[in-house]
Amino acid sequence: MLGHLRFENITRRFGSFTAVDRVSLEIEKGEVFSLLGPSGCGKTTLLRMAAGFDVPDEGRIFLDGVDITRLPPDQRPVNTVFQSYALFPHLSIRENIAFGPKLSKRPAAKIRSEVDRMLDLVDLAAHADKKPTQLSGGQKQRVAIARALVNKPKVLLLDEPLAALDLKLRQRLLVELDAIHDEVGITFIYVTHDQGEAMSISDRIAVMNKGVVEQIGKPPEIYEAPRTSFVAAFIGDTNFFEGKITSCIDARFSKCAIEGIGEIIIDNDKPTILGDLVHLSLRPEKIIVSRGMPELRTNENSVPGLIEDIIYFGSHTRLWVRCSGWRICVETQHRTYQLDQAPLKWGDTVYLLWHANDGYLLEQYREEDESLLTLPDEE
């Protein structure tokens, strides 16, 4: 069975710039699928091609097996929620929502009842006769969703729908959006540059960079098992290490020499050969900090270092620890059992401890992706 919505080898160029480069995706019926990436990565271009506002230079798009590549937007069973909402300013909320149904020439009574149902779904019945300018950002967003859903599309396309809202409202609407998805059960394609939004709402995520899909997977896969340095650095924060495989311990674990740190044990989640240059991603929250030299259990690593920077975040604290040539980002929780310890200070010597399982070997490493990491300025 072929996918519900399928992008097949899509390429789109603007002059000499390739916005989307041979992208293939299969999106299943009823799932929330996110296109996640920084601005200019091609995610919006891909969405516009799904909506019919843009046509790929190469490749085809299928919806339920039908080629819709060149179908104009008004003939696609697909609706869009725009980033700027794009509500019609001269029409009331009710008229905005009724815009699509009226074009489909359904009987007036039926249109009215459908619009009422949508107003209830997004909880805006009390504002039905207001103009869009009289609504708050969150309310406008809900009108935009209702206006799209009333047409009963097979796929709802959401283009950065929460980007213009503040953090608290964004989190609330995300929950509402999830509830709406549960109720209508259609396919959502969600374009965002916010990894938090993508992680919390999606069934699957496609991480895009420079017109290419770097990885497709469920949120935990993307976070825990990033395929490339871009995915590791763009989603959450991480530490990159470069080393050489020096010896094999068993089928799963190897030893890897890192310049200035020495030999550490790594998990061979990718096939490696003795002498290979490998790149490792190690998430800050996987590392444990201690003042004394920790006792190592099997397949654990420990490295001494000097605290160079401390940033307090409330729920956790971030430390940047200097280990010879490396600056390692560490996230520590404030647990009550640590209260008897004196708080960590700049210049303290600490030991970093992590299990070989917590490091993840990258398939593809690019030095430029290091710029995505949050690092305090070097002195």
Asked if residue 43 binds another protein (CB under 8 A), the reply is no
Q: Is 202 exposed, middle or buried (0-12, 13-18, 19+ CB in 10 A)?
A: buried
Instruction: Give the binding range for another protein (CB under 8 A) out of 87-95, 216-224, 237-245, 321-329.
Output: 87-95
Total interface residues for another protein by CB under 8 A: 23
Asked if residue 80 binds another protein (CB under 8 A), the reply is yes
The C-alpha angle with vertex 55 and arms to 71 and 44, in degrees rounded to 5, equals 110
Find the shortest distance in angstroms from Cβ 70 to another protein. 14
Helical residues (DSSP H) of the chain, grouped into ranges: 43-51, 93-103, 108-121, 137-149, 167-184, 195-201, 219-224, 229-234
Asked if residue 39 binds another protein (CB under 8 A), the reply is no
Per CB under 8 A, contacts with another protein among 209-268 are: none
Asked if residue 72 binds another protein (CB under 8 A), the reply is yes
Task: Please say whether the dihedral angle defined by the alpha carbons of residues 212, 218, 220 and 225, taken in this order, is positive or negative.
Answer: negative
- Which residue in 1, 15, 16, 90 binds another protein (CB under 8 A)? 90
Asked if residue 79 binds another protein (CB under 8 A), the reply is yes
Instruction: Give the binding range for another protein (CB under 8 A) out of 71-79, 165-173, 269-277, 318-326.
Output: 71-79
Find the shortest distance in angstroms from Cβ 41 to another protein. 20
Asked whether the beta carbons of 314 and 328 are under 8 A apart, the reply is no
Looking at residue 119, the DSSP 8-state letter turns out to be H
Please state, as a whole number, how many other Cβ atoms lie within 10 Å of the Cβ of residue 144: 25
Find the shortest distance in angstroms from Cβ 166 to another protein. 22
- Which residue in 147, 170, 227, 255 binds another protein (CB under 8 A)? 147
Asked if residue 164 binds another protein (CB under 8 A), the reply is no
Instruction: Give the binding range for another protein (CB under 8 A) out of 82-90, 211-219, 238-246, 273-281.
Output: 82-90
Instruction: Give the binding range for another protein (CB under 8 A) out of 32-40, 68-76, 221-229, 326-334.
Output: 68-76
Asked if residue 88 binds another protein (CB under 8 A), the reply is yes
Residues in Cβ contact with 344 at an 8 Å cutoff, skipping those fewer than 6 apart: 289, 307, 310, 317, 319, 332, 350
Per CB under 8 A, contacts with another protein among 96-135 are: 99-100, 103-104
Asked whether the beta carbons of 9 and 23 are under 8 A apart, the reply is yes
* DSSP-assigned states of every residue in 121-159: HTT-GGGTTS-GGGS-HHHHHHHHHHHHHTT--SEEEEE
- Which residue in 22, 26, 62, 82 binds another protein (CB under 8 A)? 82
For another protein, give the closer residue by CB, 51 or 303: 51
Q: CA–CA separation, 184 vs 46, rounded Å?
A: 24
